[in-house]
Amino acid sequence: MSVTDVPVLAIDDLVIDIGGNRIVDHVSLSLGSGRILAIVGESGCGKSLTALSVLGLLPKAARITGGEIRLNGRDLLPLGEAALSDIRGNEATIIFQEPVASLNPLMRVGEQVEEALRLHRGLSANAARGEAIAMMARVGIPDASRRARQYPFELSGGMCQRIMIAAALICRPALLIADEPTTALDVTIQAQILELMRDLRGDVGSAIVLITHDMGVVADLADDVCVMYGGRIVESGPVEPIFAAPRHPYTKLLLATIPTLQGQRKMTLRTIEGMVPSAESWPDGCRFRTRCPLADEACVATPPLADVGPGHAAACWHSADVEALA
């Protein structure tokens, strides 16, 4: 995969506040064309907000108070609603986790795939129809021209997610944000959808931001990983080193929670002690220190996101000791 000089998406030092609480705290990330970046973390860690801010879709209460978001080198934050809606669905697009609810129940699925084409390219219904059916066939919908005339209730959840992907990719966007795209699907369908997304990024060339809490999905699909906790990136880098040797205790514990087929039967599932504290009660310094087995006095100071390997960075004072953590 060729990585051009200008990254498709570059988020630099992004800060998002909601009602005086800093929900996203100086987050930076960048993504080359055709790459898949996974943003991982528990609920409430700021991963969705970070991704939604790219499309200007933050909830009303949220304010971007600092930083920059660039899509193909163009700064998005100063853009108005009209310019943003030109970009959405066209250059950058999103798929949500509930495929069935994301489709209008009273509109034929083919029309819904066409909609972005008609809105952004001004194609007539007939011209858009052909492209829509081709894209539906491309995402693995058998007998696409017949399916295009069906309504969402006639399709399975997996089919609906394929339709959503076809609708999202119809304008060949530079960036696709996938917000937990497989959460609502059963495991076999999940695998098919992941495989489809892997195929398509080569084909369409879209860079993908994958928001998930499922480490299995990350290992399967992503090139790079960003682990977020408490609104900050705690570890980032290519998938392999992070899975082989995580350098932040949170990543390590997150990986340890994945059940394996080896080992004793009836072993209790591993969990991370405690709960994600809410934004009002985030501790000073390292935000994971209230749950971290390695925490000591040093952690009262905020650790910087420091390089620990090629392209690999972790924000922990004790990153050298993480490996020893059981």
Partner 1 sequence: MSAVASPRPHPRQGFGLRRWWPLAIVALVVLAAIFAPWLAPYDPNQQNLIGRLKPPGTVSRAFHYWLGSDELGRDVLSRIIYGSRVSLVVAFASVILSGTVGTTLGMIAAYRRGWTETVVMRVVDVFLSIPAVLLAIITVAVLGPSLVNVILVLALTRWPRYARIAYSQTLSVATMPYVRLAALMGAGATRVLFRHVLPNIIGAVSVVATLEFGLMVLFEAGLSFLGLGVQPPTASWGSMLSTGRNYVATAWWVATLPGLCLFVLVLAVNLTGDAVRDRLDPRFR
Q: Which residues bind partner 1 (CB under 8 A)?
A: 55, 57, 85-86, 88-90, 93-94, 96, 98, 101-107, 112, 115-116, 119-120
Residue 51 CA to residue 318 CA, distance in Å, equals 29
Spatial CA neighbour of 54 closest among 34, 33, 27: 27
Cα gap 95→178, rounded to integer Å: 5
Nearer to partner 1 (CB atom), residue 12 or residue 111: 111
Sorted by sequence, the CB contacts under 8 Å of residue 285 that are 6+ apart come out as 299, 300, 301, 302, 303
Nearer to partner 1, 99 or 246 (CB): 99
Structure tokens at 245: 């040797």
How do the residues of the chain divide into helix, strand and coil, expressed in percent and rounded to 5? 35, 25, 45
β-partners of residue 11 are 29, 69
Residues 6 or more apart whose Cβ sits within 8 Å of residue 30: 7, 9, 10, 11
User: Looking at beta carbons only, is 96 or 243 nearer to partner 1?
Assistant: 96
Closer CB to partner 1, residue 105 or residue 142?
105
Give least dist CB 88 to partner 1, A.
5
Indicate the residue among 147 and 312 with the shorter CB distance to partner 1. 147
Taking the complex as a whole, the smallest distance from the CB of residue 109 to partner 1 amounts, in Å, to 11
- The length of the chain is 326
Query: Minimum distance from CB of 80 to partner 1 (Å)?
Result: 13
CB of 161 to partner 1, least distance (A): 12
User: Nearest distance from residue 245's CB to partner 1, in Å?
Assistant: 39
